[in-house]
Amino acid sequence: MTLVLERTTTKTTSSGPWVDSHLVRLSAADGPKLRRTTTAPGNDGRGAIGTSRAHDALDQRLGLLARLRRGWDGPGSLPPSREATSTLYAAAELAGAARARIGASPHADGYILSEWERGGTWFSAEIHGDFINYSVEAADSERTWTGALSVAELSAFLRG
């Protein structure tokens, strides 16, 4: 199976349109591949193709999650939805330096759990196919809430 994630940004400049497209293939056979194409004014339309950063542990983990099938953890277990995997990938791309602390674990109920600790506070996000449960736990308090399945919201949460 191959999971394809794509993000395209278009800007209008004084010399014409500028299109920046990220296409990611997560496949069982050869691991994640990132293809970034930029088409700038005056470009021949093919853009520059290459890897914008080294593949890291999160790329590998998301590739594994994309390959899970129904029953992966026993009868009745569900794989993470494509929407959950795509949202976490896109949010992690925007997380900058915070990307290094992002973990991703599948849950048999079909969501992805991402959690990390920073300065004695635990952060977690349960990423479902159509919503995200957030939690922040400090020594003396806990705050939980549910949000939309949003790349921008998740990315802001991941950056802390």
The b-or-e profile of 73-87 (16+ CB within 10 A means b, else e) is eeeebbbbbeebbbb
Region for residue 18 given its phi and psi (left: phi exceeds 0; alpha: psi -120 to 50; beta: otherwise): beta
pLDDT tens digit sequence for 70-123: 999 999 999 999 999 999 988 988 888 888 888 899 999 999 999 988 888 999
DSSP state of 72: B
pLDDT tens digit sequence for 14-63: 545 544 444 444 444 444 444 444 444 443 333 333 334 445 788 888 88
pTM for this one?
0.65
Q: Give the start-to-end residue ranges of the domains of the chain.
A: 2-159
Beta strand 131-138 with 141-148 is antiparallel
9, 12, 39, 97 from 42: Cα distances, Å: 18, 13, 8, 33
| Token digits of residue 112 | 């992805």
